[in-house]
Amino acid sequence: MAKGRLYFDHNATAPLLTVAQTAMIDAMQLPGNPSSVHAEGRKARVVVTNARESVARLCNVPAAHVTFCSGATEAANHVLTPDYRMGRSPVRVSRLLVSAVEHPAFLAGGRFPADHISVLAVDAEGRLDLEGLAKALATHDQSSGQAMLGLQLANNETGVIQPFLEAAEIVKAHHGLMVVDAVQAAGRLPLALDALGADFLILSGHKIGGPKGIGALVSAGETLMPAPLLRGGGQEKGHRGGTENLICIAGFGAAAEAAREALGDVDCIAVLRDRMEAGLRDLAPDVILHGVTVDRLANTSFFSLPGLKAETAQIAFDMEGVAVSAGAACSSGKIGLSHVLEAMGADADLGAIRISLGREHTENDIERFLEAFKAINTRRIARMAAAVAA
């Protein structure tokens, strides 16, 4: 990152933490395969074991409940499947329910056929319609198999926190399963899996300051598990084949420990976010701040400016030395309409800018951001005035 630039895009990927980098460099020195029984292999296995315990502590589960994989998208495709086993007995899941604001990995439905996926409405703030959830579960034919709800703990664009406890209660009342996408919530909200009422939870290493290309599927137990997505040599207790990515697992484990500690910084980050939003309102009274009337992540702000397309604003911020997102960065740099704004009934054509802060940011960074915003907003106002005059 160039000197003097501001990186306000932690929800896309958080900068690699020094502790994670150190753990990865140390792991690079180990020649052994974690599945080998000789001394070199056992040393590598210790690294995997320690990292698994760190991720487990983040979610308050036994280490055996953590399955490493290549990232949250793989974890989603692993767990979103009609095929489960309860011990040796097959269990059928015949319906997947997802909210309209989910990450594309959940909206794609994993291994469910398209006609077995139902998309549930959200309110104007992007929260799941609980009455719609209850109705969908009540009308589900349980003789065909169980229903499953896939739900973000917090939205990646707006930061809005879903009513997950109420949703879990409804799902359990109808004998369904619940999968929580905790990718954005890790390090920002408590993740005790039992307290969430979920059966499974997915994580991504690079969202919490670990490396890219590593994630985890976390289960509430060891008995009920999805059919493997990748079969191979029996790694990860047969749940995920392929030699473990030792270097990235080491970094993920270190980042997971840091994420637990980061919960103590949440209030300070919220103060910075609120100061930034107050500045936005002062400089541009017509700014539209999304999701501000409900609980949301302390680090996230999502706003629109009338007369200024989000992708244009993103480029303008970049030229001012500030890295921000125009929505989610999950489509290989492609900028399109925000399905989140569309589901909320907002102006999806206009789009929105997402600011996502980290532990390293300061009041001075917020002031520098507002200076950049002031310049961009001044040009916006001038263009709007010229258009009216024309």
CA-CA distance, 295 to 297, in Å (whole number)? 7
User: What pLDDT band is residue 12 in, cutting at 50, 70 and 90?
Assistant: very high
Q: DSSP alpha helices (H): ranges in 16-113?
A: 18-28, 39-59, 72-79, 104-107
334-358 tens-digit pLDDT: 556 789 999 999 988 889 999 999 9
Neighbours of 6 (CB within 10 A): 21
Q: Is the pLDDT of residue 88 over 80?
A: yes
Percent of the residues in the chain that have a pLDDT greater than 90, as a whole number = 93
pLDDT tens profile 120-156:
999 999 999 999 999 999 999 999 999 999 999 999 9
The single residue of 59, 69, 268, 330 carrying the catalytic annotation is 330
Strand order across the 288-289 sheet: 288-289, 300-304, 353-356
179 phi, psi to nearest 5 deg: -115, 125
Q: What is the pLDDT of residue 2?
A: 43
Answer yes or no: is pLDDT of 32 > 80.
yes
H or E element at residue 226:
strand 224-226
Q: What is this structure's pTM?
A: 0.94
pLDDT digit string (tens) for 150-207? 999 999 999 999 999 999 999 999 999 999 999 999 999 999 999 999 999 999 999 9
Q: Residue 59 catalytic?
A: no
Q: Which domains does the chain have, with CATH numbers?
A: 6-15+263-389 (3.90.1150.10), 19-261 (3.40.640.10)
